[in-house]
Amino acid sequence: MKCYDYVIVGAGTSGCVMAARLAGHGSVLLIEAGGSGSTRTIRIPAAFPRLFKTSVDWTYFTEPELQLHNRRLYWPRGKVVGGCSAINAMIYVRGHRSDYDAWRDAGNAAWGYDDLLPYFLQSEDNERGISPFHATGGPLPVSDQRSPNPLTYAFIEACTEIGIHGNDDFNGLRQEGVGLYQVNQRGGERWSAARSFLEPLLRSGKVAIITSAHAVRILFDKQTAVGVEYRSEGSIHQVMAAGSVILACGSVNTPQLLMLSGVGPAHQLRARGIPVLCDLPGVGRNLQDHLSVGVMYQCTQNVTLDKADTLSNLANYLLRRRGPFTSNIAEAGAFVRSSPDLTAPDLQFLFGPAYFINHGFTRPDGHGFSIGVVQLRPESRGSVELRSSNPFDAPVIRANYLSAELDRKVLYEGLRIARRIAAARAFDAWRGDPYLPASKDPDPATLMQHIRSQSQTMYHPVGTCKMGSDAASVVDSKLRVHGINNLRIADASIMPSIIGGNTNAPSVMIAERAAAMIIAGENNVEAEQAS
């Protein structure tokens, strides 16, 4: 039976970062349920919707959502080396300063914005160069888009017309405003966490990886994690960890694996016939996600991405890495306060020069554009629970979207603002009839009906193994699982509260921070032994 210093479960965004940073400090094994992800489709930015419901996607669904007409919402989650960074829209947004200061103020020492900025910078290779808020030389490319659509500039102009000021850097001094998103691309190609952090180490042999290996439980010696059991090629295997077992499976699979291993709410584990090793009621609780709903309009000119899949555009991409195939679809956005008395934006807008309906599966005839509305700080809370003791059964996901009245009010106000943006003069040369909602002047009831019938996940589930010291927390501020030795979590599940923006960049930061704490702990032990 093989033994490594570090066994990391999950080669998604955070797992790739963890492996890269721990390499050189001991032997590292990554266990990944998905495949290698070495396909051209993953590297072509505009092709990401075609990855949904394929072999690189866990293809999860929520339980019927009461406030959304009992719809079961589809949740794409990356099942591939690189995880969600291999199938997402590549937007590089860190969130608002106050998001992290709130984590610190809740009792998580050294998790405020000023504490965490160095870890964001440590990863970054921003093509704009060095500034107080950006760095170069890190593994993760952060680039300006190469071929933004003309409609995208119309959106920016439309926002300024209605009073939203311009902002060319959502990760700089201020988040509020409208502008183009920077993306995790290099030379017009997607640059996932796997390409950024992991691939160079795999070539050098400094990190070992087992793909198509489904972790089924953590192995324990009393209250100490000592290894992982996984299924691969029809057989059960075990691998041991001399140092730490690190979970980086994401906000769905991390709590699932903990509960399958006997760590979680005791009553739930017993009900599924799982022996209780450690009663941690917070495992799988505190689920938060960004809910999104869009307004869509027909476009009167043939400039959108809807019919961009042509041989000439493909040739432009293959030869020059230019043109529509470099688009991340959500090319521009805005961060806005729904009320002037707020201290931080609570709404995010995403503009796409195309119809984006039902995750891209619904493709209307003709050309259109979409303005997505995201409520950034939902009060609604959900859960992830075991469906059974079978590790291959998808867990029970209850997001409880819009169960809080504030969430409904903010999303409704966001729709009203989105319609004002679409009605601005900047769109006069492009705007056709409204497509969704179809009414030119919908009343409040129609807009609310639109929210309930069309809202979808923004792909940002977090919080199911939250960091803290209260009874509902799962890990401490060093990301160690309460009540268990040698077991840490390093992914978005540890967020006590969801950040106000896209969650991939913070997932990289969390792993950077976790790896630094592990390495610092080793050094302290060595210093004590030497003395």
**d(Cα 242, Cα 29) in Å, to the nearest integer?**
12
Burial class (CB in 10 A: 0-12, 13-18, 19+), 87: buried
**d(Cα 278, Cα 485) in Å, to the nearest integer?**
11
Written as six digits, the tokens of 298 are: 């027909």
Residues 6+ apart with CB under 8 A from 385: 259, 268, 284, 395, 396, 398
**HSE value, Cβ hemisphere, 13 Å, CA-based, for 181:** 29
Q: Are 309 and 433 in contact, with CB atoms under 8 Å apart?
A: no
Q: What is the DSSP letter of 171?
A: T
Whether 460 is catalytic is yes
E-strand ranges in 222-290 read 224-232, 235-247, 263-264, 278-279
Written as six digits, the tokens of 273 are: 């016939």
Which conformational region is residue 483 in: left (phi greater than 0), alpha (psi within -120 to 50 degrees), or beta?
A: left
With helix as H, strand as E and coil as C, how does 48-82 read?
HHHHCCCCCECCEECCCEHHHCCECCEECCECECC
Task: Tell me which H or E stretch contains 526.
Answer: helix 504-530
**Angle at which helices 13-22 and 504-530 pack, to 10 degrees?**
30
**d(Cα 465, Cα 487) in Å, to the nearest integer?**
13
Q: Are 197 and 11 in contact, with CB atoms under 8 Å apart?
A: no
**d(Cα 425, Cα 276) in Å, to the nearest integer?**
62
Give the distance between the most distant pair of CA atoms in the chain.
76
**d(Cα 109, Cα 112) in Å, to the nearest integer?**
8
Among the listed residues 134, 367, 450, 460, the single catalytic one is: 460
Written as six digits, the tokens of 90 are: 């590549």
Q: Which long-range contacts (CB under 8 A, 24 or more apart) does 24-28 make?
A: 24/206, 25/518, 25/519, 25/522, 26/242, 26/243, 27/208, 28/4, 28/206, 28/207, 28/208
Q: Tokens 């809080």 appear where?
A: 404
Written as six digits, the tokens of 393 are: 């059964």
Catalytically active residues are: 460
